Structure 1
Amino acid sequence: MMRAFTQVDVFTDVPYRGNALAVVVDGEGLNTEEMQRFAAWTNLSETTFLLPPGTPEADYRVRIFTPSTELPFAGHPTLGSCHAWLEAGGVPLREGEIVQECGAGLVRVRRADGSLAFQAPPLVRSGPVDEPLVARIAEALGIGRGDIVDVEWADNGPGWVAVLLADADAVLALRPGTVPCGVGVAGPYPEGAECAYEVRAFFTLQGATAEDPVTGSLNASLAQWLLRTGRAKAPYVASQGTALGRSGRVHLSADAEGDVWVGGSVVTCVTGRVEL
């Protein structure tokens, strides 16, 4: 069966400078095995499938797959899927807000000024990291323990440990070995720069360390940590992907209730039909 398909670039307004996402716009009738097989074939960090909502509160439902497994939630697939749903003619139940249903539950997405932003999910793990793990992370990053300004669990699902370095240059200089877990590294730019922080995301894929170009879930949890500790002030912009030749821009803000919102631009790069 031929199905509508699109490939978008997330956290950029310039095609091919952000993080790519494949979206099967009509995923109804596909089983898990078929979805996983196609996600392995696209070989992108994530592929999503749009489905009718299973609850009256939601506008649509999405299933999110890496090449090897299904995820309950991920950041850039949330914005990219919402963009694809709207572009395909989706009409939200509420003006200015879209509600996405996914494995993690309902996720609110706001649309304003041509960009989208999702409400950061709560952390499932926070607080201190055991020193033996910190030492392993420092060794994997090729730095000394004393180079780490601060470190804390900032896990909203993928298992992130957040590491703060002295500055953005230190982040860009990293040449990591095999990381023991998902590691998100941030370092501040000088005051007055276009972006407040440079961010990099490392994880293990098939026994080797991989780097994600631009990571919504990590920036969500980093913002919750940096804002709570007073190291950042909302709103701010994070840069990610510089070391990979990308120029991702993630916009972080907080509302009156203290909820963090993670936003950015999405551009469509490929549209067509796929046999599934």
Structure 2
Amino acid sequence: MPSLSFVTVDVFTTTRFAGNPLAIVRIPEAGHVSTEQMQIIACEFNLSETVFLYERLAGDQRETEWRFRIFMTSAELPFAGHPTIGTACYALGTLAGNASSGKLVCNAGPIGIQYSNAVARASIPHNVHIHNEFKFTTEQLYELQPALANLKKPHAITVVSPVKSMNFIMIELDSLEDLAQVTTSGVKPRAKLDAGWDTGFIGSYFYVVMPQDGQRPGPKRHSVRTRMIEGTLEDPATGSAACGLCAYLAMEGQLKNASFLITQGVEMGRRSEIGVAVTLTDLGAIDKIELSGSAVKVMEGTVHYD
């Protein structure tokens, strides 16, 4: 019976049993595992995402380059943030013996990665799109989250795609008390997306921009608390949504060089710390998005499959 080795890591944390869990399954040299088998294995782990990491072929001169694929329990993703950071930490920190830099290649494209002091930084492939053909209304929001109807109206509701097929309804709330009212439910978020973009995953991403010295943060430092809900799922850390949100905030505020600390998962007892840096071009478009964070190994073992 064929088998594959795996590890699990908790991502965007240095503390085990916090952050966002990720399974990393290693595909050996010249090994073949079908897409269908990968999907079944991802279902068995039953985590928000599972990564399949291809080991390099013997004689491959690209010593710190790896190809990987990302699966939810129901579908493959072109890109996701916490799988990228978790895989970067494991690949550079463990497989490459604390190498300082390398490259990951996912379905969304190549990702340059760096590793230092147990923190991975990834230059994220992006195709940021702010949807404007249709509006997501407060009435739709209250259908998703009835408790919010009794609170102050959200500051902003915007649908953002950091890459095609990853779509998030971004809802800015007034306070952490309002954020605490958000709940999971049997209702999954739905939104009319712009032509050519109407595909893939849709999540609802609630955020509060934290004050700094009694004011909203200035251009040099932004601290944001978030929660990501998709029906009955709450995600402890959503790197792709964090990248999309920070890109939107940087463009909205015309912050040419902005750094953000996104704190997520607090309400569910899995605090995550997500770093995002955004650079704009002189014309105000996205030039670069860098995602950063740590990961700690929790388990390792073997998966047997048919």
Same fold, TM-score > 0.5, yes or no: yes
The residue that corresponds to 2:178 in the other structure is 170
Counterparts of 1:259 and 1:10, CA distance in 2: 22
Task: After TM superposition, give the deviation of residue 242 of structure 1 in Å.
Answer: 0.9
Match of 1:86? 92
Worse-superposed segment, 227-236 or 41-50: 227-236
Q: Does 1:249 align with 2:273?
A: yes
Normalised by the length of structure 1, the TM-score is: 0.86
Match of 1:149 among 136, 152, 155: 155
Match of 2:209 in 1: 188
CA distance in 2 between partners of 1:230 and 1:13 (Å): 32
AA aligned opposite 2:225: E
The answer to whether the Cα contact below 8 Å between 2:69 and 2:106 also exists between their aligned partners in 1 is yes
Offset of 1:185 from its aligned partner?
1.1
Match of 2:83 in 1: 77
Instruction: Tell me which residue corresponds to 1:197.
Output: 224
> C-alpha distance in 1, partners of 2:278/2:136?
34
Q: Is the 8 A contact 1:96 1:110 kept in 2?
A: yes
Q: Any idea what SS the aligned residue of 2:144 has?
A: helix
Provide, for residues 204-239 of structure 1, a one-character-per-residue CA deviation record: whole Å limited to 9, x for no partner. 4xxxx3211111100011110112222988323111
Q: Deviations over 1:34-77 (max 9, x none)?
A: 11111111111111111157998881100111111111111101
Shift of 1:98: 2.1
1:25-174 aligned within 5 A: 25-26=26-27, 28-52=31-55, 59-90=65-96, 96-128=100-132, 130-131=134-135, 133-142=137-146, 143-144=148-149, 147-156=153-162, 157-174=165-182
Give 1:41's aligned amino acid. Answer: E
Q: Secondary structure, in 3 states, of the residue corresponding to 2:43?
A: helix
- Percent of paired sites with the same residue: 26
Work out whether residues 128 and 151 of structure 1, in 8 Å CA contact, stay in contact via their aligned partners in 2.
no
**Structure 2 unaligned residues grouped into runs of 5+:** 191-201, 215-220, 282-286
Q: Could you tell me how far 1:255 is from its partner in structure 2?
A: 5.1
CA drift of 1:17 comes to 0.6
Question: 1:186 and 1:122 mapped to 2: Cα distance?
Answer: 21
**Tell me, which stretches of 5 or more residues in structure 1 are unaligned?**
none
Pair 1:20-2:21 in alignment: yes
Aligned residue pairs, count: 270
Paired letter, 2:248: W
Please give the alpha-carbon distance, in whole angstroms, between the structure 1 residues aligned to 2:143 and 2:135: 12
> Highest CA radius of gyration, 1 or 2?
2
Does the Cα contact within 8 Å between 1:168 and 1:188 map onto a contact in 2?
Answer: no
Bigger shift: 260-269 or 115-124?
115-124
Give the AA of the match of 1:14.
T
**2: distance between equivalents of 1:91 and 1:239?**
29
Q: Measure how far apart 1:146 and its partner are.
A: 6.0
Whole-angstrom CA distance in 2 between matches of 1:118 and 1:214: 16
Cα distance in 1 between the residues matched to 2:117 and 2:125: 23
Please give the alpha-carbon distance, in whole angstroms, between the structure 1 residues aligned to 2:118 and 2:96: 16
8 Å contact from structure 1 (residues 18, 247) kept in 2: yes
Query: Which residue type is aligned with residue 212 of structure 1?
Result: D
Describe the shift of the 1:167–1:53 C-alpha distance in structure 2 as closer, same or farther (beyond 3 A).
farther
TM-score by length of 2: 0.78
Residue 265 (structure 1) aligned with residue 294 (structure 2): yes
Please give the per-residue CA displacement for 1:159-188, whole angstroms capped at 9, x wherever unaligned.
112111122332222235423241111112
- Mapped to 2, the partners of 1:88 and 1:42 lie a distance apart of 22
After alignment, is 129-138 or 171-180 more displaced?
A: 129-138
Secondary structure at the aligned position of 2:249 is classed as helix
| Between 179-188 and 55-64, the greater mean CA deviation after superposition | 55-64
Code of the residue aligned with 1:197 in structure 2: it is V
Matched, 1:8 2:41: no
Counterpart pick for 1:222 among 217, 220, 245: 245
- Report SS of the residue matched to 1:131: coil
